[in-house]
Structure formats: C-alpha cells, structure tokens
Amino acid sequence: MAQSNPMLIQPAPPGFKRPPLVLIHDGGGSVFNYFLLKSLGRAVYGIYNPRTGDGEQWPGGITEMAREYCQMVLRVVTEGEILIGGWSLGGMVALEAAHILALMPGCPIKVRGVVMIDTDFPRSPSISGKKSAEMRVANSKAAMGQHVKPEIRQAVERSMAQAARLIDEWQPPTWTAPIVPPRTVLIRGREKIDENDVYREKRALGWEDYESDIMAAVLDVDGTHYSMWEKQNISTVDLQLQRGCTLLEHSPMY
C-alpha cells in the first residue's frame, strides 16, 4: 500500500488554528528527519520525493517538482494560510512553490511565509556548476554513514546526484509586481562542514545575493548542515523552528 503524500507528521493540537507547516524533502528525497522534531503546535505535513524509488527524473527541474507538490498541498490544505519550507533542497523547492501558488488564479491558499532549513543560495561565486554538484554529492555520501542498507543507499545516492543537478540548473524565481516574495526565515547551522562550505561565512548563506530581499530573520542552530539533526543538537532546531514559524505567523506581509 502506497504511503500518502503529503504525509501527516504532526496533527494539529486540539483547538489550535495556526497555519499548517508543509516541509519538503531534502536532496535524498526523504522526510525522515522531520519526524525527529518535537511538537510545533500546528499541523505539520511532509512531502517526500515520489520518484526516488524508481529513479525517474524531473525533466522540468525544480519548477516541475514544485508544481506537482503544489497540487499535493492543495489536496490536504483546501483554504487559508500555510507556511512552507524544507531542509537544503527543500527550501529551494518551497520558494519555487510559493511563487507558483502566488501566480495561480483563484488559489484558495496563501503562503504566509517560507522556512528554509540550512538552504544555501544555489549560485556560488567561486565554484563552477559541475564542481558544485560533485561537492554536494560527496558531502551527502559522507554524511549517510555505513549502517544504511545497500539498496537504500543506492536510491538515496541516485536522488542526491539528481538533486545536485537540479540545484545547479535552477534559477530562483523573479517576483514581479503585484506578486510579492514571501517573508522567509532561514535556520542556519553554526558550524562549517569543510572548506567547500563556501557560504557558511555569510550570515544568510548567500541569499544576500538574491535579487529579492526575502529574509525576515536568520536563526542559528548547533551543528553543521548534517549534524544539526543529531540527538545533541536537534533541540535547537526544534526551538528555532518554533520561533521562526511564530515570527512568520505574526509578522506583517509585504
């Protein structure tokens, strides 16, 4: 039996009517890490990559992926405001999805804000696209560890390689009036992975270079891009994710 997509990760607490949070998978295609989070006081959904298992490509890139995920969101949230975000690649797909929903005629939902979890800007000023893709895949393989089953490792590595190519080919959306970009919170790991973590020295992980000023806040968490999900660090991710969602929920929109 196929799993539902989006998956309900956290149900809304009784009596709470906060905008639900939709979290999109990382480059590996999984939403596993989001199940490690403590209660965020709202409904939380996770969208996994439905093409990870069979290796099917996304020929239309991140835009095609985001368009399909928007239709998934509309199946579980039929009206009102939402927050949308994700870790790494997921933050980029979330921004693209917010743009698609903003342009959708008569769309019954409005994106209140975007939550990027350690999503760096996809355009490195000092590294070629090919080299950037190679580094993303190498870092992901190193972080996976040795305990993963071979068949799962193969599927995730294939998904990571595809994600790296998608990122390097993606052009972040251009917001043209009257469409305005969503307020965005960036949750940022304090520690550098290695010398190739080129944007770690920038407060907003390179989003300072984006043509639109989207950042409402940058919130630090313990660990690197990967170790932030480990037991000793994840409490800071819980805290800052709660803070970020609350900030977006109550801050004025553009």
118-173 pLDDT, tens digit per residue, is 999 997 655 544 444 445 444 544 444 545 556 656 766 777 888 889 999 999 99
The overall average pLDDT reported for the chain is: 89
CA-closest candidate to residue 109, choices 140, 72, 142: 72
pTM confidence score: 0.90
The token pair that represents 151 in the structure block: 């068949």
pLDDT at 216: 96
User: What value does the mean pLDDT take over residues 99-127?
Assistant: 90
Beta partners for 189? 221
Query: E strands, 11-88, where?
Result: 21-24, 44-47, 80-87
Handedness of CA 125, 128, 129, 135 (dihedral sign): negative
User: Tens of pLDDT along 50-83?
Assistant: 998 777 889 999 999 999 999 999 999 999 999 9
Whether 141 and 157 have beta carbons less than 8 Å apart is answered as: yes
pLDDT at 81: 97
pLDDT band of 16, cuts 50, 70, 90: confident
Backbone angles phi, psi at 13, to 5 degrees: -60, 145
CATH of domain 7-250: 3.40.50.1820
Domain ranges in the chain?
7-250
pLDDT at 150: 63
Q: How far apart are CA 158 and CA 57, in angstroms?
A: 10
Q: Which residues, in sequence order, are CB contacts of 70 under 8 Å at separation 6+?
A: 97, 100, 101, 104
Q: How far apart are CA 146 and CA 150, in angstroms?
A: 9
As a whole number of angstroms, the longest Cα–Cα distance in the chain is 50
pLDDT band of 197, cuts 50, 70, 90: confident
Query: HSE-up of 89 (CA within 13 Å, CB side)?
Result: 31
pLDDT at 129: 45
pLDDT at 161: 86
Indicate the pairing of strand 7-10 with strand 44-47. antiparallel
User: What value does the mean pLDDT take over residues 74-101?
Assistant: 98
pLDDT at 194: 84
The token pair that represents 18 in the structure block: 């906060």
Handedness of CA 164, 9, 34, 78 (dihedral sign): positive
